[in-house]
Structure 1
Amino acid sequence: MNPRRKKRLTIVVAVLSGLGVVAGLILYALSQNIDLFYKPSEIHYGKEDTGLKAQIGQRLRVGGLVVPETVNRDPDSLKVTFRLADMKMPISFDANDPMITVKYDGILPDLFREGQGIVANGVLTDGFIIQASEVLAKHDENYMPKELADAAGTMHQKPSYSGKQLENSN
């Protein structure tokens, strides 16, 4: 093989190897930052379409309704624990419903309350316990994230606004 061709081949192989390593590192970094959305029942039984279950240590986003009488606040700190259940219409809670426990250390949103729809970002630590790093409450009674609206099914009605309502609100 001609030395000039050998040198070109070495350069091409080195560039392609470098691009492969960079692409691998980018994909690895992106996989570490993906938060998959789950409902409490999906954490128990797996995703409906794929059967994929959340793994311990996995970062995830979970949404549901705060179960009444399950909010426990630590009087000496900002730690709070509560249980989440699937959003279903009409709103009712049964002891047999799949529920998860959320532990959070921080200031809760002003709209947080029992029976409220919330989304928590965190890590699945043990079985059905989420250590949340962020808790988000819906901003009004009309808003619902798409995933939760789909979970609520046909009973969920999207708000309808007319031009006059928008003009009067300003």
Structure 2
Amino acid sequence: MRTGILALTMATLSIATSLKEETLSHIRQLQLDPEGFVHAADDGVVRSFRPDAQVVDYIKLNETQLMSVIPDLAFHDADFQAHLVEVWTDVDGNDVDDEQALHPSEELLPPRLRAGYSAVDDPAAASPSVAARAALEKKTLFCAGRLCSTSYACQYMRCSLCIAVDMYIPTVMRCI
């Protein structure tokens, strides 16, 4: 009996892990503008933006996919994870039409793309090359979770892209 429960648990973990990896892989395959970034919005759509707020590419995620990547997108912050679970419960990005995916309403935009945004209080607006150079000089090759302002900065540190997630910490973007 215990062997059966253990096997079922292992199979469930394997499926969850493969779903997470598959979803992260799809996010990492988004077309990017090197000076842009990616944003996972409340509507379940992960959008790749140019600096001028134009959507370059997007992927629509369902609730299961969104929940599978929360630990990676919330950078293991328990409060942030709980917030994302609350926001993305019953959300299906597939319900979003292509027009809204390409032209999200202002409340779905990350703060730096909204009218009236000021970079003064934005920690990600610091020069990404300085942070990247410092990380590489320390021979730190793990870039995941580092603050960023552009996907280029993350790629410089050997990550895939710079992502903003929800509005929990509105001005913080990190590499994945």
Normalised by the length of structure 1, the TM-score is 0.28
Q: Kindly indicate which of the two structures has a greater share of residues assigned to strand.
A: 1
Which structure carries more helix by proportion? 2
